[in-house]
Amino acid sequence: MSYTQKIINRYMEKLSNEDTWIAIGESLFKIILIILVAGLAIRIGKSIIRKFFLVRAKSPLRISERREATLLKLLENVLTYAVFFIAFIMVLEAMTFDVKALLAGAGIVGLAVGFGAQSLVKDVITGFFIILEDQFSVGDYVRINHFEGTVEEIGLRTTKIKSYTGELNIIPNGNIVEVTNFSIHNSVAVVDVSIAYEGDMEKAERVIRDLLERLPEKYEDLVSTPELLGVQNLGPSEIVYRITAETTPMRHFFIARAIRKEIKMCLDEHGIEIPYPRLVMYNRQEEKGSMQKG
C-alpha cells in the first residue's frame, strides 16, 4: 500500500467516525453562537453609548455638540473593533487552534511588521491628537489639504469628508497637514450693490440702511444688523456699495443671497435704478444721408 493510499484511508476512517462529526457540529454551533453574541453585544453596547451621551446632553457640565458627535462615532468604532477581535479569537479556539501560540507568534510578527507600518502608526497618532485637541468634529465644514466639505466621520486612522457635490473623500490622518475649520466662529457675508450714476445716492443709502435695520427680525442666522460700509468702487456705469453681515457659522452664503433679493425688491419699490449694460447702435447709411442733405 502506497503512502498516499494510507493517508486517504486515515482520513476516510476519521470521516466515518461518529465522534468526528459530533465535534464538527459542536464547533459550528459554537461559531454561530459566538457570531450572534458578538452582533448582539455590539448592538447593546452602541445603545448604551448613545444613552450615555443622551443623559450627558441634559447635564450642566456637557461638552459641545460637535465634540459629543465625534466621541460617539469614535467609541462606537472602538467597541466594534474590540468585539470583533475577541469574537475572532473565540472562533479560532472553537476550531481547536492553539490561540496562545498564535498570539505569541502574532506578537513577534507584529513587532516586525510595525517597523514597516510607520504610516499606519502615524495615522493613528495623528487621529488621536485631532480628537484630543478638538481640531475639528463630526458635522464641521472644513478644508483639509485640497479637499473641502462636511466631516462625516473621524476615526483613529482615517477621516471622511463629504463634499457639497456628494463625493466622499477618505483621508489618512497622517496626510492631514493643514486644516481650515469654517464651523467654529461666525461667518461674514459680503454683498456688493450697484447704483446708477444718475440715481440719488443719499436716497439709496437711506433706503438700504432702513432695510438692513429690519433684516435681523426676519432672518435668525443674522448675529447683528448688517452694515453699509459705503462706496466700494466707482465702475464704468455704476457706483458700487459694499454691505457686510455677521452670521452664524457657514450661513453667510444663504444670508448673502437673501440680502441681494431684499435689496433688489426694496430698490424697485422706491424707484431706484440698478444699472445694466446699454448698447447704442448707429446707422452709417442714415448718417451719410443726413450729411448729403446738409
N-to-C CA span, the chain: 130
Identify the residue with better confidence: 187 or 21: 187
Residue 86 located in a structural domain: yes
**Shared domain check, 37 and 111:** yes
Contact between 79 and 43 under an 8 Å Cβ cutoff? The reply is no
**145 is in which domain, residue-wise?**
126-181
Q: Structure pTM?
A: 0.54
Residue 109 above 90 pLDDT? no
Read off the pLDDT of each residue in 154-181 and give the average, rounded to a whole number: 87
**Shared domain check, 105 and 14:** yes
**Shared domain check, 216 and 150:** no
Residue 23 above 50 pLDDT? yes
Report strand pairing: 141-144 vs 179-181: antiparallel
Residue 294 located in a structural domain: no
For residue range 43-61, list pLDDT tens digits in order.
Answer: 998 888 888 777 766 655 4
Read off the pLDDT of each residue in 88-112 and give the average, rounded to a whole number: 70
The separation between CA 181 and the C-alpha centre of its own chain, rounded to angstroms, equals 11
